[in-house]
Structure 1
């Protein structure tokens, strides 16, 4: 899960939900066409485009400089490690200093880091310690930025589901465009130019966020306790909502056994049997499926969004079964499209449910707990995928993940607090 989350219910409270109504949104504009949403949309789009450039730039810059392939993994690991360690504190800081301020600070940090990397890669062979340190700085920026996404969406778009769906489509397209653009720039001007373009995207994002005009929320100027006290308070808010912690508890199993192993095993199997070009095409098809899932979420408004999202996730095992069955590339493409569609639809339903059922004052911290837990399980699943495949067999691990994926979704649908969670508006 990862991604977005936000305010309280707009309608009557459900008998299964003890949550109080959340504060009114600060920006009751006409919807995703309003000025604040347009600025936020632009900030997210360019930032996701920039993020997609980084793996290509690091690989090209470090390998062309004669560095070992492991250095690329260490650089990306520096980013992920600092993000995972600090995202919980990012949620507290977003509550303490407002989400918009922290997102602007995060963009400025990443802008500075990108400019330094541009200079280092353009002028020579940068020392690895500097690349790792700057990658870690980018991870710190992401940790400061991500929690604020959760609480900003409901403040800039009264139709939260529609806003999430529009953002999901945009992010899917930018995720596909980022690596392609980076590859073109590397071939024409080198890795330094890619880092320069990446820095520019964060500059554009910071300007867009600075131009947003959001009315203050109640409690923005309230005196707050220590960082530790606010983390504990966020944990209490998390445990107070059974549907929330139950989904995330189930999701830890799903991330460890299904989603985590799926990416490295897919890359290994497809590359070995069909070539790296085919793998690239399949990832593009997956991105197209994600865009389709966002469009589907734009047009459907289920009365029980979490239940609808869980049903949609039954499309994930379709992909893993096809991967394990010696299917031709065209059929694998169909599986990737279903995977992208299913997962994007779930993310919109999950994000919308959290954003409309969790009070604004707790949202940044709860979203940070969600992101941290999901990221750790995904990382663990990816790390264990290789050893598990060596012991059990690659296809066996994929088929086992398919069975677990179906079982996990059945568990979600059997939980009353998840199955009965209503739309909040």
Structure 2
């Protein structure tokens, strides 16, 4: 850690001390170095994240079943999902500022509570018949705004409740991978048995579980929580300065915008189109399950390995992604594609744990929500643009050509991450 980083890392001098509690906490302060990972706060947060990710996985299935079942076109499903992602991308930076101002815990609970009525209305509406499209779009847009209020707090909560940040991120990555697979599967079963309304009801239940668990947590306070805050505009400016002051941080995000636009964005729609067209929808479902299993394996690997240079190790692991792209673009069999999907899922999960841990341990707590919001907003916007451009470009040059070009770009992304010295040499905290 450089001297500049030491000045901006308020927990460094308190790493083995005690931390006071906020939000009405009654529990005694615990020495951070001695606390086990599975303490009360982490158990509650673990359940909250599992419920939230499970609920997110039910939404696309519920929207598709409900809208298509009501006789609407397939484009209506895309518009409904777009009505969620657009407000999310636009408001997530404001969500980061608000989380730093009012604490992440309060903003996450508020977001869950605000999403409950919308999920309930959709559940009742689809059970009773077919709600008008404008109502579906409006409620999904409101849900997107609430998600923007919720998401920044995830990053800042983990280092406050877990003495071992990397291990906590790895454990959460494993359960999130499992819930990503379980959510759509359970939603499909609920739709088959009771209709789309039941899937929306399950989605609403996950918001209630998440809000309850977060309400029961007692999050330790951080230096700066009680500091006087400026206006929202000035807080955004301060957050931007903190962002620019860390070359490794904005360097990774700048490189990742290229990756999102040219690789990660096109990968999902092109994989779905290619695999479904050549091998059928059942094969595509199996491959997505294999990808999820690979993601869980990557999280488990991150539990065991503790590299001294986490971003460098994560960058090397990302070489599993171009392998997946090459196999997709070369017409491999389903069995071989499964190997690629497993490698791709494991590689991406390992990188995410290394990246999340680096951000959460090197960025000061009083700015962490805003830093995470900038990261999410930039990545999400470029991935959305990549998905929108994937179809027209694939029609012009061929799906296989786009995937193979993406493999080459993915390798260059790894090279760029390793060449930039602040990224390559960033140490563990």
Q: Please give the TM-score of this superposition, normalised by the length of structure 1.
A: 0.95
Paired position in structure 2 for 1:239:
244
Hey, what's the Cα distance between the residues in 1 that align with 2:294 and 2:186? 20
Q: What is the Cα deviation at residue 222 of structure 1?
A: 2.6
Hey, what's the Cα distance between the residues in 2 that align with 1:268 and 1:215? 47
Paired position in structure 1 for 2:233:
228
Of 273, 277, 287, 2:278 maps to 273
Of 126, 132, 140, 2:137 maps to 132
Q: What is the Cα deviation at residue 225 of structure 1?
A: 1.1
Partner SS, residue 151 of structure 2: helix
Q: What is the Cα deviation at residue 18 of structure 1?
A: 6.4
Q: Is the 8 A contact 1:238 1:244 kept in 2?
A: yes
Q: What is the Cα deviation at residue 217 of structure 1?
A: 2.7
Hey, what's the Cα distance between the residues in 2 that align with 1:136 and 1:182? 21
Q: Deviations over 1:351-386 (max 9, x none)?
A: 000000000011000000000000000001111111
Establish whether residue 209 from structure 1 lines up as the match of residue 185 from structure 2: no
Hey, what's the Cα distance between the residues in 2 that align with 1:203 and 1:15? 44
Hey, what's the Cα distance between the residues in 2 that align with 1:326 and 1:64? 34
Of 268, 282, 292, 1:263 maps to 268
Hey, what's the Cα distance between the residues in 2 that align with 1:391 and 1:70? 21
Hey, what's the Cα distance between the residues in 1 that align with 2:277 and 2:300? 33
> What stretches of structure 2 of length at least 5 have no aligned partner?
20-29
Paired position in structure 2 for 1:21:
9
Q: Is the 8 A contact 2:157 2:219 kept in 1?
A: no
Hey, what's the Cα distance between the residues in 2 that align with 1:316 and 1:245? 22
Q: What is the Cα deviation at residue 15 of structure 1?
A: 6.3
Q: What is the Cα deviation at residue 17 of structure 1?
A: 4.6
Partner SS, residue 222 of structure 2: coil
Higher relative contact order (CA 8 A, sep 6+): 1
Q: What is the Cα deviation at residue 20 of structure 1?
A: 2.9
Taking the TM superposition and a 5 Å limit, the aligned residue runs for 1:88-99 are: 88-99=93-104
Q: Is the 8 A contact 1:19 1:358 kept in 2?
A: no
Hey, what's the Cα distance between the residues in 2 that align with 1:277 and 1:364? 40
Of 301, 312, 324, 1:307 maps to 312
Paired position in structure 2 for 1:107:
112
Partner SS, residue 221 of structure 1: coil
Of 415, 423, 427, 1:418 maps to 423
Q: What is the Cα deviation at residue 313 of structure 1?
A: 0.3
Q: What is the Cα deviation at residue 396 of structure 1?
A: 1.0
Say if 1:381 and 1:19 are closer, same or farther in 2 by CA, change over 3 A. Answer: farther
Establish whether residue 46 from structure 1 lines up as the match of residue 51 from structure 2: yes
Q: What is the Cα deviation at residue 418 of structure 1?
A: 0.7
Q: Is the 8 A contact 1:271 1:279 kept in 2?
A: yes
Q: Is the 8 A contact 2:160 2:220 kept in 1?
A: no
Of 160, 163, 170, 1:165 maps to 170
Of 176, 182, 192, 1:187 maps to 192
Q: Is the 8 A contact 1:16 1:417 kept in 2?
A: no
Q: What is the Cα deviation at residue 19 of structure 1?
A: 4.9
Of 108, 114, 118, 2:123 maps to 118
Q: What is the Cα deviation at residue 70 of structure 1?
A: 1.1
Q: What is the Cα deviation at residue 307 of structure 1?
A: 0.1
Hey, what's the Cα distance between the residues in 2 that align with 1:420 and 1:176? 35
Q: Which moved more, 1:366-375 or 1:110-119?
A: 110-119
Establish whether residue 372 from structure 1 lines up as the match of residue 360 from structure 2: no
Paired position in structure 1 for 2:332:
327
Paired position in structure 2 for 1:63:
68
Establish whether residue 348 from structure 1 lines up as the match of residue 336 from structure 2: no
Partner SS, residue 119 of structure 1: helix
Q: Is the 8 A contact 1:53 1:181 kept in 2?
A: yes
Establish whether residue 290 from structure 1 lines up as the match of residue 278 from structure 2: no
Paired position in structure 2 for 1:7:
none
* Number of residue pairs aligned between Structure 1 and Structure 2: 412
Q: Is the 8 A contact 2:10 2:223 kept in 1?
A: no
Hey, what's the Cα distance between the residues in 2 that align with 1:251 and 1:133? 31
Q: Is the 8 A contact 1:164 1:348 kept in 2?
A: yes
Paired position in structure 1 for 2:343:
338
Hey, what's the Cα distance between the residues in 2 that align with 1:404 and 1:331? 22
Hey, what's the Cα distance between the residues in 1 that align with 2:233 and 2:258? 28
Deviating above 4 A after TM superposition, structure 1's stretches of 4 or more consecutive aligned residues are: 15-19
Q: Is the 8 A contact 2:88 2:147 kept in 1?
A: yes
Q: What is the Cα deviation at residue 68 of structure 1?
A: 1.4
**RMSD of aligned residue pairs (Cα, Å):** 1.2
Q: What is the Cα deviation at residue 272 of structure 1?
A: 0.7
